[in-house]
Amino acid sequence: MARYVEALLVSGLVSLVLTPVVRVVALKVGARVVPGARSVHTVPVPHLGGLAIYAAFLCSVIVALGRPGAEVRGCLVGGGLALILGMIDDFRPLRASLKLAGQVAVAVVLVLFGVRIEFLTNPVGGLILLGGLSAPLTVFWIVALMNVVNLIDGLDGLAAGTVAISSMTLMFVAAQRAQTAVAIVAGAIAGGSLGFLPYNFNPARIFMGDAGAMFLGSALAVVSVEGALKSATAIALVPVIALGLPIFDTAFAIVRRIMNGQPVAKADRGHIHHRLLETGLSQRQAVVLLYMASGLLGLTAILSSALEFRSAISITLLVLFGMLVGARMLGVLDLRQRGRVTKAR
């Protein structure tokens, strides 16, 4: 059995076993999300699920790699710091500026461990060496993915399932290119998310919280940087396509808030999952539909990795056009403010 598959299975099993234990602990220490006026849930739900996902990831990577390289060690350390930052925010919400500063600090730690985007593929041929821009661009990418995963965590099971699909896509592409360590880390992310999902799917018995979302975002950033973004071919587009759904949703959330004169960090009801609920879909139906969209993007990413860069760009633009059409039909491109919410729960 391939080592990355073993990593996925080990992580999934550990997460499946640990999540109910973490749930009991969370209830005992009072780590719960109390239903509010706009909540879907009617009873308090614990929110320390990220602990189980990180523990599963840690066990899996250590078992599979033994003594991992610097970048993977950075993923373990940086992921742990992201988890702690998220836990602090879960218990006592941080100011947006303070949370951003913490995320930047996590990203800097990862860069110090050697996680860097060193070049970009030039569409007309060759490479664009980043030089002094390498570290800042890497920090931006890591912080962006931490927030992308956090923002899509709006419906039961949505973030966990989307991350699982995206990480399995990255795992497959890395395995095809013999990037064993990257494939193992991606498999561990997928397994931890999948093992958590049975307890997080609607009706959720536990949430991953900001702790889980920030950890998963930072780990996905490391996998993409050390895997696809290290390649001078069309494969460099794989992370963007595989994570297309949350990236697209986040980008429009930023534009929408700016156009409405609202702070970027201020939540609203304009996310794609909110719009799906407004069409009359249930939480489960909306989540499954978004799973299907993520799966389609994953297949597109895998196809793009086997093509020349220009062909991959063409496919990416075609998929982007399709997403824009679908988003317009759902009203996601509507820039009107739709009221403030924290989560669709």
* Per-residue pLDDT reduced to its tens digit, 148-163: 999 888 889 999 999 9
d(CA 130, CA 240): 19
Instruction: Return the amino acid letter for 169.
Output: T
Whether residue 320 lies inside any domain: the answer is no
Whether residue 223 lies inside any domain: the answer is yes
d(CA 216, CA 106): 13
114 or 256, which is more confident?
Answer: 114
Whether residue 99 lies inside any domain: the answer is yes
Backbone phi, then psi, for 58, in 5-degree steps? Answer: -60, -50
d(CA 136, CA 142): 10
Using the predicted structure, report yes or no on whether residue 114 has a pLDDT greater than 60.
yes
Give the pLDDT band of residue 1 (cuts 50, 70, 90): low
Per the CB < 8 A criterion, the answer to whether 106 and 88 are in contact is: no
Backbone phi, then psi, for 152, in 5-degree steps? Answer: -85, -5
Q: List the single range of 21-25, 161-165, 245-249, 337-341 with lowest mean pLDDT.
A: 337-341
Backbone phi, then psi, for 181, in 5-degree steps? Answer: -60, -40
Give the pair of three-digit tokens for residue 101: 């500063």
d(CA 165, CA 77): 24
Q: What's the chain's average pLDDT?
A: 85
What residues pair up with 32 in beta bridges, in sequence order?
46
Q: How many domains does the chain have?
A: 1
3-state secondary structure of 142: helix
pLDDT > 90 fraction of the chain, expressed in percent and rounded = 48
39 or 130, which is more confident?
Answer: 130
Whether residue 265 lies inside any domain: the answer is no
Instruction: With residue 158 as reference, give the H or E element that holds it.
Output: helix 158-176
d(CA 322, CA 111): 35
Q: Which whole-number Å values give the CA distances from 249 to 148, 203, 232, 242, 253, in the listed order?
A: 8, 23, 27, 13, 6
Give the pLDDT band of residue 278 (cuts 50, 70, 90): confident
Backbone phi, then psi, for 141, in 5-degree steps? Answer: -65, -45
Whether residue 316 lies inside any domain: the answer is no
Per the CB < 8 A criterion, the answer to whether 239 and 308 are in contact is: no
The pLDDT value recorded for residue 318 is 82
Q: What is the pTM of this model?
A: 0.87
Whether residue 270 lies inside any domain: the answer is no
DSSP 8-state assignment for residue 335: -
Whether residue 92 lies inside any domain: the answer is yes
* All residues at 6 or more sequence positions from 198 whose CB lies less than 8 Å from its CB, including other chains: 16
Range of the domain at 119: 3-233
Using the predicted structure, report yes or no on whether residue 338 has a pLDDT greater than 90.
no
Whether residue 290 lies inside any domain: the answer is no
Q: What is the mean pLDDT of residues 97-104?
A: 95
